[in-house]
Structures are given as C-alpha cells and as structure tokens.
Structure 1
Amino acid sequence: MAGLGERGEGLDLAMASGQYRVDLNALDGVVTKLNAVIADLGEAHTSSCYSTNLAAGALGVVSVPGAKFTEAAALHIAHDEMKKHLEEIVDHIHGLVDEFGTKTRKTHGAYQDQDAAVKASMAGGE
C-alpha cells in the first residue's frame, strides 16, 4: 500500500520487508548541489586550460651556451603533460557529475509522477 508522507513532500512505499520514504526535497537538494559542482568544475576547467600556461622560455633558454637551468626544456614538457592530464581529469569529473545529475533529475521526476498518481488514486477512492 502506498500513501503520502506526513508533509506530502515525498512518497512512502510499503514493502514486504518494511517501508521506505523518498524525500523529494532531498533529491531536489542533490540536484541543486550538483549544479553548483558543475559550475565550479567549469571554473576549474577554464583555469586549467587558460590560467596555467608556462611559456616555453619562462624557465630559461636551453639553447644558450652556459645556460644555468639546463632542465628547463624537460620541465616545460612535464608541465605541458601535467596540464593536459589535469584538463582530462576535470573533464572526466564534469562528465560523471553531469551524468549523475541527469539521472538524479530523472529519478526525482519519476518519484514526483508516482506521488501525483498516488494522490490522484487516493482522491478518486474516497
């Protein structure tokens, strides 16, 4: 048997082993927080792409005889590799959070629809 919760904000479902409650407000909160994470990831992506550049000559010019920092070229290459890796990580996390957010919104909608069906069923049965 299904019925509305005390506040009418979620769905109580009776199961053979007991009951559980879906708190639609909590799902709404998850979606809101995920949207904030996605916005923050957008900033992280922008920073990792455009604010972490290291110019080729910034550490010294290797081709100059007697250069004091001979590892400059290797360090620059390592920097570029790490920068690319960070961009890939941020993109991957963004994709995961976006996918989770989409699934959470769909789940919220499904429970909302079920909640409305239960309300309609109870109203029609009285």
Structure 2
Amino acid sequence: MAEYGVDLDALDQVVKELNHVLKQMGDETSTAESSTYLPQGVLGEGFSEVSELYGAHAQVKADINKMMKRVEGLIDTFGKKSAKVRDAYQDAEADNSMNMK
C-alpha cells in the first residue's frame, strides 16, 4: 500500500501568502476607489463629448472596483479552503499517530 504525505508547512505558507495578497489587494482596492477621482472641468468644458467622457470614466471605475472585489473574493475563498485542508490533514495526522500507539 502506497503512503502519501502532505507538507503542512507548505500549506501554511500558501495560506500566509494568500492573506498577504488579500492585504495588498485591500490597499489597491482602496486606491482604485479613492484615487481615481475625476473632477468636473478637468477634461475641459463646452464640447459635446464631455459628459460621455465622464460617464465612461465612471463606468470603467465601477468595472475595476467590481473586478477587484471578485478577485479578492476568490483569493479569500481559496485561502479559507486551503486553511481547512491544512487543518484536516493535521487532524488526520494526529489521529493516525494516536492510533499507532
């Protein structure tokens, strides 16, 4: 019968790195939300496309924010699942060591 091993330290590292990515994404999401302000008049005034440009900017900003939140959600889900897998393997390893005694 073949035995398989799981590197719990590697799973720990995956969870730590995903949490770090989430923290960085939070900073980037905040930047995307607050640092992309386009004040009225900055693109000029008195031409027919001005409202279209502001509308396009608002739409792109909303799309970026939506994508950032989706990516954050995926990373968070993967991190939580990775932590659960790590915990399950650790528990199984502890159970196996107790059963062998």
SS state at 1:22 partner: coil
Structure that is richer in strand per residue:
1
SS state at 1:20 partner: coil
CA RMSD of aligned residues (A): 1.3
State percent identity of aligned pairs.
38
Q: 2:72 aligns with which of 84, 90, 94?
A: 94
1:121 maps to 2:99: yes
- TM-score of the superposition, structure 2-length normalised? 0.92
- 1: distance between equivalents of 2:50 and 2:20? 39
- TM-score of the superposition, structure 1-length normalised? 0.75
Q: Which runs of 5+ in 2 are unaligned?
A: none
Q: Which runs of 5+ in 1 are unaligned?
A: 1-13, 63-68
Q: 2:31 aligns with which of 44, 47, 52?
A: 47
- Residue 55 (structure 2) aligns with: 77
Runs of 4+ deviating beyond 4 Å? none
Work out the number of aligned pairs and report it: 101
Question: Which of these two proteins has the greater Rg computed from alpha carbons?
Answer: 1
